[in-house]
Structure 1
């Protein structure tokens, strides 16, 4: 007799919005550390840098009984030159990567927010394994580059595919379901 281990409960609803509360900002930092330091080993001690002082943190938050529960996805955006924006540190918690479109929703929030703030160009260095996702989301590859010892692709978003999001703190509720394995 084979007994299957029950899968962890995964909420079907997620808040996609700008992190404004201390627990959301802390949750985003913790998730980034788990993803880029502990899991992927891209950084030896921490992934924090000078960009964090000026970046706008965006999050995906799981819900429990329709109340915000835990940060399960994050990305940050910042303006480097007038009308030139960058996205970086996109991370989705390991247990939520096969759940719907959390990464895509965070990308939509990131580019739409920058678009509303005057972006004429939105760029990101994307890990090689994620390039196909970005291409499906109307991004163009601009050239491969090694960052922190890992292959990345410099990519540009097609801003016409991303309507401006004027109030990212309001965000939206994303309904999702677990994909078949």
Structure 2
């Protein structure tokens, strides 16, 4: 007799917003470390850099009974030069990668937040396996380059596809479903 274990519970409701509380900020840093240092081996020791001092951390939070519970996705944004914004360190926890839209919702928050702050160009270096997602979200490839020993695509968002988000700390609830 084979007994199947139930799949781990993964909520279908997520809060997408700017990280403002200490546990959200540390949760985003922890998720980045697990993703880019331990899992992918892109960095030795840690992935923190000077950009973290000026970047806005954005998060996807799982919810339990409609209350924020755990950081399960993150991205950071910063203004490099007047009007030119960059997104980076987009990460979704492994257990939540099969959940539809988390990465897309974080990208929407990232570009919309920058758009509300006077962004005229929003850029990112995207790992090659993620280029199709970004293209579906109205991003254009601008050329491939190696970063941290791995190939990335430099990409630019079509700002017309991203309405301005004036209050990213308020965020929104995203209802998702696990991909089949």
Shorter-normalised TM range: over 0.9
Structure 2, gaps ≥5 residues long: none
| 1:6 CA displacement | 1.4
Inter-partner Cα distance in structure 1 for 2:138 and 2:2: 44
Deviations 1:6-28 (A, max 9, x none): 11000110000000000000000
| 1:44 CA displacement | 1.2
Q: Partner of 1:51 in structure 2?
A: 51
| 1:61 CA displacement | 0.1
Q: Partner of 1:27 in structure 2?
A: 27
Q: How does 1:3-14 map to 2 (within 5 A)?
A: 3-14=3-14
Say which is worse superposed, 171-180 or 3-12, in terms of deviation: 3-12
Q: Partner of 2:137 in structure 1?
A: 137
| 1:100 CA displacement | 1.3
Q: Secondary structure at the match of 2:107?
A: helix
Deviations 1:108-129 (A, max 9, x none): 0000000000000000000000
Q: Partner of 1:176 in structure 2?
A: 176
| 1:72 CA displacement | 0.2
Q: Secondary structure at the match of 1:23?
A: helix
Q: Partner of 1:94 in structure 2?
A: 94
Q: Partner of 1:149 in structure 2?
A: 149
Inter-partner Cα distance in structure 1 for 2:136 and 2:5: 34
Inter-partner Cα distance in structure 1 for 2:74 and 2:160: 23
Inter-partner Cα distance in structure 1 for 2:148 and 2:6: 37
Runs of 4 or more above 4 Å deviation: none
Q: Secondary structure at the match of 2:68?
A: strand
Q: Give the count of matched residue pairs.
A: 180
Structure 1, gaps ≥5 residues long: none
Q: Say yes or no: does 1:82 pair with 2:82.
A: yes
TM-score, normalization by structure 1 = 0.98
| 1:2 CA displacement | 2.6
Q: Secondary structure at the match of 1:14?
A: strand
Q: Partner of 2:119 in structure 1?
A: 119
TM-score, normalization by structure 2 = 0.99
Inter-partner Cα distance in structure 2 for 1:105 and 1:79: 20
Q: Secondary structure at the match of 2:14?
A: strand
